Amino acid sequence: MSRLNPRQQEAVNWTDGPLLVLAGAGSGKTSVITQKIASLIQERGMPARHIAAVTFTNKAAREMKERVLKLVPREDARGLIVSTFHNLGLRILKTEMAAVKLRSGFSILDQSDSRELMRELLHRGESERDIQAVEFFQSKISQWKNDLVTPEQALSSADSEELQRAAITYGEYNRMLRACNAVDFDDLILLPVLLFREQPRILEKWRNRIRYLLVDEYQDTNGCQYELVKQLVEPLNKFTVVGDDDQSIYAWRGAKPENLAQLQSDFPDLKVIKLEQNYRSTGRILKAANAVIANNPHVFEKSLWSDYGYGDPIRVMSLRDEEAETEWIAGDIIHKRLTKALKWKDFAVLYRGNFQSRLLEMKFQTMQVPYKVSGGQSFFARTEIKDLMCYLRLLVNPDDDNAFLRIINTPRREIGPATLEKLANWSVKRGQGMYHVCDDIALDEALGGKAAARLREFKSWLDHKRQYCFSDNSLQAVKELISDMDYEGWLITQASSPRIGEKKVENVGQLVASIERMLNKQEEEDDSSDLEAVIRKLVLIDMLEQQEEEDDSDRVQMLTLHAAKGLEYPHVYMMGVEEELLPHRTSIEEDSITEERRLMYVGITRARETLTMTHALSRKQYGERIDTARSRFVEEMPADDIDFQGEGVQVDESKTEQVAEDTLAAIKAMLNR
């Protein structure tokens, strides 16, 4: 095992009761969790099957599991649960399907699928106003689920017509999910919690299964996740949670940093261990981070420190406008890379909102700087691509109820939510998938003549296309499927602007071209044309694209401050550090900038060696140019540790000349290699 500092070792050794490890940025919390798991197995003699560790991302869970397996022989780790909260919830639901009234093969709707179902329930289209209404209802229902509020409770407490409508929709939405043997992402936590409340015998079974629980990033838990943890650990209270209230930046998606403080109330014998030694950044960077975050109220006080030396001053650069800002950042990165013999991937540019990246991308392209934008939308996550992929999935697998639900009314076929709910109930009664029962003769009586006729027509049409899927005409079947339903025309009429409609049509063309290339390649390799195999490959490509954040190629990293959490880079640039961007205008108007300050803290603590902040003195907003002010957070940093440069700052001509000479020398050295 790697060597731990005294505080880390204390956290590993403490197993007699509830423990909160208050882990500052870069303080080695993953080492504590993984070595504690190893210690529980090897030194405390606890079977791995009785230990569970949960975190928030698949990547973090994978890394944690890999590190445990380097400390513990694989056979000793058999049965160990290391997963996300949602995967743990899914494990519980799959085991207790009958108790939660789910059937084998139940579907899990992602956010996009859920939005489509909500759109059907609300009879909304694709206009901007309709999209906003659907997103409001979806967000409100998700919030209720995260706060453990049932549809009945939501309706009884609704104090406006809009909330009453949302609560009624919440009930209809849940009924639709159950009828279709489906759950959404929030249900993966909510349903186990409700099950444990209602059936103590099942809860006791899981308490016996999980006898020690470790939770990472505890400050990001919502009310439902907190309750799940509490249910599983009581009454023995054998758990370790690791968190940092200063890095809680996800309140907008339900996270409650107050859950850390709630632990002390719910578990009076809670032991708190602080990890304050940072293994990432220079002393000056940590001093600035401590100074900024000290302006937030704290239940737990802590102060980061490091053995890595004091380091360079933090540069704060004032530029004329956003054009000058992005040009300076690109130029400075090129200069540093040349003069310091660095790699492109040593640099990261962080920003508050995705819109800030566009101009910098153009500068990087002009200056031939390789870059990667993290957190962008996957090609397969686009609505039009998900629609067509569901059509293709249904072509090769008629039992895919999730795919059926997404596309049955896309484009519109006048098949509403009430019809689908009755169809779902009928499919349960018949013990077949929803697609299979669309042409049942007895369906007229259950649904009514018109609705049943529309479903029969849909199934007959898709059955006809299926005949070609396993022949040499499979590509033609895909093209005819798209043209028969005039999908491209429907995209254009539904789009909020002609340009967006054209872009969606281009994406459809790109998908068809990809299928054609893959079919041709398949034919060259084994003289066959198997659409089912191609679709499976496309799904795999989607999964790989979603994992692209692990790409290790040599490119400058561009990402939002939210996406940067948990990452670190030698040289960090924070752009747009000004009022109404960071802190965001909404937080200023609502007088709630504590989370924005935590976002600033997260940004600062991503930097290992150097940190540069930039801001524009004027910025174009909503078609007009306005003067801007430097962020209040910069004023909270120690002035002695900042090197102010740029517009309005006294320029040291000798420094400018030296920079130019260093760059020229570096270029000459490269040419002479």
Contacts of 388 (CB under 8 A, 6+ apart): 482, 487, 508, 511
Identify residue 665 by its one-letter amino acid code: A
pLDDT of residue 574: 97
Measured distance CA(349)–CA(317) in Å, rounded: 14
Question: What's phi and psi for 619, nearest 5 deg?
Answer: -145, 145
pLDDT of residue 529: 54
pLDDT of residue 659: 52
- Name the pLDDT band for 376 (thresholds 50, 70, 90): low
* Residue pair 215/263 in contact by the 8 Å Cβ criterion: no
Asked if the model's pLDDT at residue 471 lies above 80, the reply is no
Higher per-residue confidence, 583 vs 648: 583
Percent above pLDDT 90 for the chain: 41
Q: What is the pLDDT of residues 570-596, one digit of tens each?
A: 999 999 999 999 999 988 888 889 989
* Residue pair 395/459 in contact by the 8 Å Cβ criterion: no
pLDDT of residue 245: 82
* Residue pair 122/170 in contact by the 8 Å Cβ criterion: no
Question: What's phi and psi for 181, nearest 5 deg?
Answer: 55, 50
Per-residue CA distances from 388 to 88, 160, 321, 456, 504 (Å): 31, 39, 43, 20, 12
Asked if the model's pLDDT at residue 501 lies above 80, the reply is yes
Higher per-residue confidence, 348 vs 159: 348
**Cβ burial 389-406 (10 Å sphere, 16+ → b, else e):** bbbbbbbbebebbbbbbb
Measured distance CA(77)–CA(3) in Å, rounded: 21
pLDDT of residue 61: 87
- The average pLDDT across 457-479 equals 79
- The average pLDDT across 597-612 equals 95
Q: What is the pLDDT of residues 300-326, one digit of tens each?
A: 888 999 988 999 999 999 999 999 999
Omega cis (within 30) before 411 = yes
32-46, 269-283, 545-559, 647-661: the lowest-pLDDT one: 647-661
Q: Containing H/E element for 10? A: helix 6-13
Asked if the model's pLDDT at residue 114 lies above 60, the reply is yes
- Name the pLDDT band for 270 (thresholds 50, 70, 90): very high
- Name the pLDDT band for 58 (thresholds 50, 70, 90): confident
C-alpha neighbours within 13 Å on the C-beta side of residue 175 = 17
- Name the pLDDT band for 185 (thresholds 50, 70, 90): confident
- Name the pLDDT band for 545 (thresholds 50, 70, 90): very low
Q: Taking the model in full, what pTM does it have?
A: 0.76
Asked if the model's pLDDT at residue 363 lies above 50, the reply is yes
pLDDT of residue 142: 92
* Residue pair 426/440 in contact by the 8 Å Cβ criterion: yes
Question: What's phi and psi for 68, nearest 5 deg?
Answer: -65, -40
Asked if the model's pLDDT at residue 399 lies above 90, the reply is no
Strands 314-319, 607-616: pairing is parallel
Nearest C-alpha neighbor of 107 from the set 120, 94, 122: 94
Q: What is the pLDDT of residues 11-21, one digit of tens each?
A: 999 998 999 99
Contacts of 238 (CB under 8 A, 6+ apart): 15, 17, 18, 211, 212, 213
pLDDT of residue 548: 42
Q: What is the DSSP string of 433-457?
A: -TTGGGG-TTHHHHH-HHHHHHHHH
Among 26-40, 421-435, 502-516, 528-542, the range of highest mean pLDDT: 26-40
Give the dihedral sign, CA 557/280/215/260.
negative
Mean pLDDT (the chain, rounded): 85
Nearest C-alpha neighbor of 140 from the set 116, 117, 124, 164: 164
Q: Which residue has the tokens 């030194």?
A: 43
pLDDT of residue 378: 59
pLDDT of residue 547: 41
- The average pLDDT across 100-109 equals 81
Measured distance CA(261)–CA(298) in Å, rounded: 10
The radius of gyration of the chain from alpha carbons, rounded to an integer in Å, stands at 28
Per-residue CA distances from 439 to 461, 462, 546 (Å): 12, 12, 37
Asked if the model's pLDDT at residue 647 lies above 80, the reply is no
70-74, 205-209, 286-290, 428-432: the lowest-pLDDT one: 428-432
* Residue pair 598/636 in contact by the 8 Å Cβ criterion: no
- The average pLDDT across 102-122 equals 79
The catalytic residue positions are 29-30, 216-217, 247, 606
C-alpha neighbours within 13 Å on the C-beta side of residue 444 = 4
- The average pLDDT across 412-437 equals 81
Asked if the model's pLDDT at residue 538 lies above 80, the reply is no
C-alpha neighbours within 13 Å on the C-beta side of residue 87 = 15
Asked if the model's pLDDT at residue 486 lies above 60, the reply is yes
Q: What is the pLDDT of residues 201-260, one digit of tens each?
A: 999 999 999 999 999 999 889 899 999 999 999 999 999 999 888 887 777 777 777 888
